[in-house]
Structures are given as structure tokens and as C-alpha cells.
Copies of this chain bind each other. A is one copy, B any other.
Amino acid sequence: MHRKLQPPLILVNFKTYLEATGKQAIKLAKEAEKVHQETKISIGVCPQPADIAPIANAVEIPVFSQHIDPIKPGGHTGHVLAESVKQSGAMGTLINHSEKQLKLSDIDEAVKLAREKELVSCVCANNPSISAAVATLQPDIIAVEPPELIGTGIPVSKAKPEVVTDTVKLVRKVNPEVVILCGAGITRGEDVAAALKLDMQGVLVASGIVKAKNPYSVMLEFANAAKKQ
């Protein structure tokens, strides 16, 4: 794994929130960078495709695309090309987020494309059995997020700790290398700490930071909690 992604890792998904679009996206990425500089904890940001280039120009922390399509260059109007996000400055990409789920063969193809184009792949999964399936495809990172908890403020490590522990157990059977993150409902430093205690190597977080009154201070709280583990 790239040293800037060394666990514990905090990945901030900007989704299509207005608070994380355009100029606001650049501002948020700079705050994330500041937290990284202060704590040395790895933090990456996942903006919309139109914001990748300006953010990659503005900060030195890792930038991830939110999605790539399983396509090669050519006649694919409206699709997201791996080469395009790479040239714009992305270091990696989410694949199969629960809000942008793919057919299994497209996940397989997208992971292979990411590897070929030297993009770090983070494949999302809804539950432990899907996490294990995904792990066999050899992505760099897996993020397990029960979709029913996304945006609720109820952290998976608290509401469904067995999702976290079962994911670790099933994934490690088939893939000892992959970095495992968890997400959904994470809003406080103690949620991050709880996840790491259950052998997670970081978190994928969105509204907990993007919709916070003070995103910088929440990211700092997350990073400090991660540091103590």
C-alpha cells in the first residue's frame, strides 16, 4: 500500500453533497490535509469527478474517484474512464459503493483495470459474505458498510459489531493482505476507536464529516482517536 494510505486510514467520501461540491470541495480537502499534517494519520478524500483535478492540484493527500466504469478508452459517452481520473490526479478509486453498485463481473473488471492503471482500489461491500466475495478479487482495500446504517449516526461497530467481526473473519480466510475499513453511521472519535479495536484498519465516512458543523474538528477528533489505538 502507498505510504500515504498506511493504516489507520480515514477515507472521506464527499458523495454529491453540495457542502462538498466545487469550491466547498476544495476547502474541505484542505482541511483534511491540515488534519493529516497535524496528526500524521492517513486521510484520503473522494470528491466528484469534476472536482478531482482542482483538489489534486490543491492538496497532497490522496484523492480517490467515487467510481470507475469497467471500460477501456473508446465510445462510452457519460462513463467514468480510469485513465481520466488518473490523469486528473486521482491516486485510487472507490468501486461498488452501495449507492453505485455494480454487476459482479463489472467489479472484477474494474478491480483489474484499477490495478493495470495503478489506481488503488477500494471495493465496498454491504455485509460480511459480500466482503469475502469481494476479497477473492484481490482489491487493495475493502470497505464494509451496512447500507441501512449509512447516514444514520448509529455506528456499525456499535449497532452491529458482528458485521465487523464476521467481516474480518471471513475476509481473512480468503485474503490475508487486503486492508479492511468499515463505514456507516460513524460520527465521533469513539466510533473510530471502536472500529479499530475490532481489527478494522480504518473507516470510510461521509455525512459524519461533510454534514458536520465543523468538519475540520470532527476529522481532527477522528484522527486523534485513530492515533491512540
Q: Could you tell me if A73 and B17 are in contact, using CB atoms closer than 8 angstroms? A: yes
Our pick among B71, B77, B137 for the contact of A129 (Cβ within 8 Å) is: B137
Q: How many residues of A contact B (CB 8 A)?
A: 64
User: B108 contacts A107, CB within 8 Å?
Assistant: no
Q: Is the pair B79, A105 in contact by a Cβ cutoff of 8 Å? A: no
Interface members, chain A 105-164 (any B CB < 8 Å): 105, 107-108, 125-127, 129-130, 132-134, 136-138, 150-151
CA distance A137 to B174 in the complex (A): 12
CA distance A5 to B178 in the complex (A): 37
Residue of B at shortest CB range from A22?
B87
Chain B residues within an 8 Å CB radius of A78 = 66-67, 80, 94, 97, 99-100
A218 contacts chain B at the CB level, 8 A cutoff: no
How distant is A109 from chain B, measured CB to nearest CB, in Å?
Answer: 9
A15 touches B76 (CB 8 A): yes
Q: Is A217 an interface residue (CB 8 A)?
A: no
Asked if B103 and A103 sit within 8 Å, CB to CB, the answer is yes
Q: Give complex CA distance A79, B41 in Å.
A: 29
Taking the complex as formed, is A220 at the interface, i.e. its CB lies under 8 A from any CB of chain B? no
Which residues in B have their C-beta under 8 angstroms from that of A80? 48-49, 78
A102–B66 Cα distance when bound, in Å, is 20
Q: Is A83 an interface residue (CB 8 A)?
A: yes
Are B74 and A104 touching (Cβ within 8 A)?
no
14 contacts between A and B (CB under 8 A): A15-B77, A16-B75, A16-B79, A17-B74, A21-B87, A50-B84, A51-B88, A53-B54, A75-B207, A78-B80, A96-B104, A108-B129, A133-B133, A133-B134
